[in-house]
A and B are shown apart, each in its own frame.
Chain A
């Protein structure tokens, strides 16, 4: 079929954040022609571009200890060999950015590679992609995957936002680097992270894993999206009467803040931040002070109201199950990188935070890109007519109602945000609320199923909504099935860890969901 906007490539990368950019580089280095599509702009899209990713950066002599320490703090679900792999790959490849990123030098003349500033990091990666000859298509969201007459992944189709025209790209292999799903929580930089890749992959039969581990929160000044955690290490919190709250440091912080917020407004003061850091803050993290200065707040003197912004699977764990060392999903030819993938292999049941997730995004990107390039070379270009695999909101065999309008989509998102983002529901999970959430989400799924395909400018919003409903259903089923508390997953009705549940939960399905335990194969004890 000759569409005006169709092209062919060896490897198609969906998503132009940190993982997608590294994936494109990995595929080029393995000899492939590469096209990368991004919903926004490769350089500002995604959660790296507004943050400051510090990588898991460990010198060789300290690696075994770092891996052992993290392995004991992973709820038994991480794998030491995978941790070693991401440390090694990060150590080897992060310095290759030096042509386009000005790494600072410490007092001893040593270059500091570990921590990068997000906007500059993504700008450098974009420059690397240009040098490597990657075709980058900005504002080209993918809506669905294509399969060939053998049922293999064969590319993707989407629309060009500037004129709403469709595009279609045939590819020998696809890397999904579409990020996590933050349910439009207003987590900084996460509006494009709506789980689209998870839905597209599931439509080809891909499995997910670790979806119950989706419980990360970050403090932000109320009304703002500034979820930069750093300054809050100095925070003191107060209730509406001005009494200081007893908020413990460490993993207890968010549950304590959630309970306090349930009772009423909570305000914060950063008055404990030392003077020298206050002065340096704008050149450490230039965006942190923007909400304060623009709203006339002195956060070191004034008390300002705060909220918690949920991260869904972003600094959660869950995503597409990584089935082999090249980060192939359970669908041949479909690879996954970064937050779209389950990070259980490197982080287990406990958030990989910024550093492990960054090392994972870089490493899984390079591996997935190289793996996709090999797959495309071995299997050649897709043959025969290509079929678009998307269902919900794109084509529907059993539509009985009109296409969804803007208000309907907005309502569905607002309703699912309660079980997916409300801190009391996520940090204090229990069976009754999970059952209610499950019923609500089934209703959303059925409603979208009954609707005719979305039209015009609403196609993207409808597809994002479907992806969020799908992600929420997998999360809820996994949270119901894991009848214990482990790592991030906290059940107020089942507060203990059950040794018999030291396994992962694979989940999948669209109209009918399924879930099953998946054993973690640990190497001989000596290494772990």
Chain B
């Protein structure tokens, strides 16, 4: 669930208010949004992806709101990682974060190959994959 809105980073753009599928935030004029209904958060991390100021932090616990220490999170290097790894905004042309999602089928194929060969088997190269086998 949403754990932190770091007000010193927030630019008051209210984008998180708009994009949250659970309407967790309320907009406020010239101020950071209000974290009005944190318990409605479905832990989808979308707000982090859309926050260009990296001012939001979602804890992965889905059933209860975990207390996290803001200073620890600030120092952790975790803020903005999801947006960066997704290659959004200023990361869009950075080759380190180019979208490699298309490799998912290779991952499945290699996993299946490994399972077939047994746990000690060598990890094979990319094989042809049936079109119906990719999963979300």
Contact = CB atoms under 8 A, between A and B. Distances in A.
A257 to B, nearest CB: 15
Interface residues of B, number: 52
B107 A277 contact: yes
B86 A117 contact: yes
Contacts, number: 186
Contacts of A104: 98-102
A40 B21 contact: yes
Interface in A37-92: 39-41, 43-54, 56-58, 62, 66, 69-70
B20 A41 contact: yes
A192 interface: yes
Contacts of B60: 221, 223-226, 290-291, 294-295
Chain A, interface residues (CB within 8 Å), range: 35 or more
B18 A138 contact: yes
A395 interface: no
Given A56-B132, A189-B44, A191-B42, A233 B82 contact: no
B105 A54 contact: yes
Nearest to A270: B111
Contact of A112 (B102, B114, B119): B102
Given A233-B111, A277-B107, A285-B101, A70 B132 contact: yes
Interface of A: 39-41, 43-54, 56-58, 62, 66, 69-70, 102, 104, 106, 112, 114-120, 138-139, 161-162, 186, 188-192, 221, 223-226, 228-231, 233-234, 236, 249, 272-274, 277, 280, 282-287, 290-291, 293-295, 353-356, 358
Nearest to B106: A277
Contacts of A45: 21
B44 A51 contact: no
A286 B103 CA distance: 13
A248 B72 CA distance: 41
A139 B23 contact: yes
B115 interface: yes
A60 B134 CA distance: 19
A230 B85 contact: no
Contact of A41 (B18, B43, B87): B18
A40 B20 contact: yes
Interface in B112-136: 112, 114-116, 119, 123, 130-136
Contacts of A229: 135-136
